[in-house]
Amino acid sequence: MIKKVLIANRGEIAVRIVRACAEMGIRSVAIYTEPDRYALHVKRADEAYSLGDDPLAGYLDPRRIVNMALETGCDAIHPGYGFLSENAEFARLCEQQGIAFIGPKSDVIHKMGDKTQARDSMRAAGVPITPGSEGNLADVNEALKLADDIGYPIMIKATSGGGGRGIRRCDTPQELKLQYPRVISEATKAFGSAEVFMEKCIVDPRHIEVQVLADSQGNVVHLYERDCSIQRRNQKLIEIAPSPQLTPEQRLYIGNLAVKAAAAVGYENAGTVEFLLTGNQVYFMEMNTRVQVEHTITEQITGVDIVREQLRIASGLPLSYRQEDISYRGYALQFRINAEDPKNDFLPSFGRISHYYAPGGPGVRVDTAIYTGYEIPPYYDSMCLKLVVWALTWEEVIARGQRALDDMRLHGIKTTANYYQQIVDHPEFQEANFNTSFVPNHPELLSYSDKRHPSEIALAVAAAIAAHAGW
């Protein structure tokens, strides 16, 4: 069994991993840069080591992190999500040094991280993919010819892309000529590769993803699906498990497709297979070779501790569950509470949290690394916390989500919480009648009132009195 894990990440996912390690009797090692010196993951881990002053360089240096793991006696590294979590070279360095990388093998990360190779693998496995290029595009002329063949609209995508970046929709040849060099530029800057490919744009689909677990003995299971259709500019905002929009037949079909996809590439550890649905047609989109931000809602409906399973799998142990052992109960919602101002084009709102009160009560879970007095640094993702609610029925989980959002108090910065209240109040959301166009089709939801809650006014008065009294 793994005995000591270096966590190559920060924020709430690092805290989540620390907690899983503590429950399993595994020592945890945090790493941090100077802006994170007082971060919660640093406080909660068994040991913590500085990466220096630069806010990003240390978190993105595979060789330095592997060397630090060796120096501190770690036998495993958990990459979390983001940063180096889908970096094949990082996984390869771990393999070369005899350190367990808590994720799939480096060759699988490379294969599934390259979107054209992933499409080829799925095509060979009989998993349906969207019409598009069979490899990387040579130039804009090839792109124009292919677009004419498959029909507009089309999507130009970075081969090594992710996180909603390096993607452009084109509805006409003129747009394609304009956007093609922009995608190449963005791909080169963000991912270090100028390679791009083309897919048919599936208009207004539902975005459905399936959580899978696979061990080194060849066992693969799915933990049902999540609906990620509530998104803005390809960034997920609210996630749901299971999807309230699927029939039992669709659920079975998509779950089996995900297992087939993972088995076809010899996958190990936790991963997510993402699909687009339009009517009854299902298309493979991509595979995320890591734990996902929204793993929480799958844990809530299945009772499976996904991070615990990751640690077990990386230790060489078999899965704790067979497919027939896994069922789901109720519904769960996850709200990504971001430090952003929705009324100002979602501009980041970094700064000091003057007061934070976490919502609670039955069926409420909060994954976060913030606290009152914490200074949100401007160098990282804007997510403050993940508010997760669970209930037996769709109607009950919506009501619980409304109540939990209203319970939460987070002062000192702007957040997306009030905007999410408008979404869950909307009749289309409550009727489970939505797709990826829901957010752009409802700009009126941004017209909510910014009227201050009585508790906010009371806190402001208390702070003013304290300051005046010199407390």
Which residue intervals of 353-433 are DSSP H helices? 394-407, 417-425, 427-430
Active site residues: 290
8 Å CB contact between 268 and 260: no
Q: Which residues pair with 341 in a beta bridge?
A: 347
| DSSP H/E element including 357 | strand 355-357
Q: How far is residue 231's CA from residue 296's CA, in Å, rounded to a whole number?
A: 18
Whether omega for the bond prior to residue 248 falls within 30 degrees of 0, making it cis, is no
Residue 52 CA: distances (Å) to CA of 16, 23, 72: 23, 30, 17
Tokens 């130009």 map to which residue? 156
191, 192, 195, 200: CA torsion to nearest 10: 10
Q: How far is residue 210's CA from residue 226's CA, in Å, rounded to a whole number?
A: 6
Of 411, 405, 399, 401, the C-alpha closest to 455 is 411
Look at residue 185 and give its three-state secondary structure.
helix
